Structure 1
Amino acid sequence: MPLVMVVTRDVADRYRGFLGSLMLEVAPTVYISPRMNPGVRVRTWNVLSNWHKNEPQGSIVMVWRDVSATGGIEIATLGTPPRELIDVDGLWLVRKSS
């Protein structure tokens, strides 16, 4: 069961309460769970996705380990993050969105 991290930006307070009930808030709007199984991770993402679809404000990024993915991590996003992630030859690079 890999570590899962969620970072939120400019979202409604209910996200903070929901994520805080499942994960440890290590810094404001940064949540981690050291041993979240894939089933819980998918259900958590589904709740966040449904809420964001109904109230599209801010952004959410979820990161977890996946050895078959680029750089050994998988990244899921909702909203408009301030950076764009680009896969270049199996390596993640970050570019500022313009």
Structure 2
Amino acid sequence: MTIAVTRNTPGRFDGFLASSMQEIAPGVYVAPVMKKSVRERVWRVMMEWSELLPADAGVVLFWRNPDAPSKLSIRLLGWPKKDFVEHEGLWLTHRDLTEAHDTEELLKQAEVEEQPIGEEDPTVLPTGSAEGLL
């Protein structure tokens, strides 16, 4: 499955994506089966048009890839202004703190010492009970 999500893109992006994918919600396009060559062509066209994107616009394209972190390959054009970072086989999003973040509260939270989890904790499974969950 290939999915594209657009935000504030010029009409040509949405029209082009709608010509090769199904629009299931405003700005959300899916193709249950899309060959790699088609996906690459779609991406090349959007890259060629990238200079038309306003500062708050962009496209996120992702598809299943068993060899990629989180088993997803991701391509970004313009927005979102976040970095995707691979960590222990998963994609994580990272962005710098802004004035909107309460950095003092975050620093306080980082200093809090967590209590070790004891066997009486109701969220801890008794030894050997996890076998039935697999």
TM-score norm. by structure 2 comes to 0.66
Deviation at 1:13, TM superposition (A): 0.7
How many residues are aligned here? Answer: 95
Bigger mean CA deviation after superposition, 41-50 or 78-87: 78-87
* Counterpart-to-counterpart distance in 2, 1:39 and 1:4: 12
The answer as to 2:63 corresponding to 1:64 is: yes
Which 4+ stretches in 1 moved above 6 angstroms?
none
Deviation at 1:82, TM superposition (A): 4.8
Deviation at 1:87, TM superposition (A): 1.3
* Counterpart-to-counterpart distance in 1, 2:76 and 2:8: 14
RMSD between superposed Cα atoms in Å: 1.4
Deviation at 1:83, TM superposition (A): 4.0
| Structure 1: runs of 5 or more not aligned | none
* Counterpart-to-counterpart distance in 2, 1:93 and 1:69: 13
Encode CA deviations 1:3-34: one digit per residue, 9 max, x unaligned: 10000011101111111111000000000000
Encode CA deviations 1:13-64: one digit per residue, 9 max, x unaligned: 1111111111000000000000000000000000011101x31321100001
Which structure is higher in RCO with an 8 Å CA cutoff and minimum separation 6? 1
* Counterpart-to-counterpart distance in 1, 2:78 and 2:16: 18
In structure 2, the residue corresponding to 1:32 is in which secondary structure?
Answer: strand
Question: Which residue type is aligned with residue 10 of structure 2?
Answer: A
* Counterpart-to-counterpart distance in 1, 2:43 and 2:49: 10
Q: Aligned residue for 1:49?
A: 47
* Counterpart-to-counterpart distance in 2, 1:75 and 1:47: 17
Q: Which structure: larger Rg?
A: 2
8 A Cα contact 2:64 2:72, kept in partner: yes
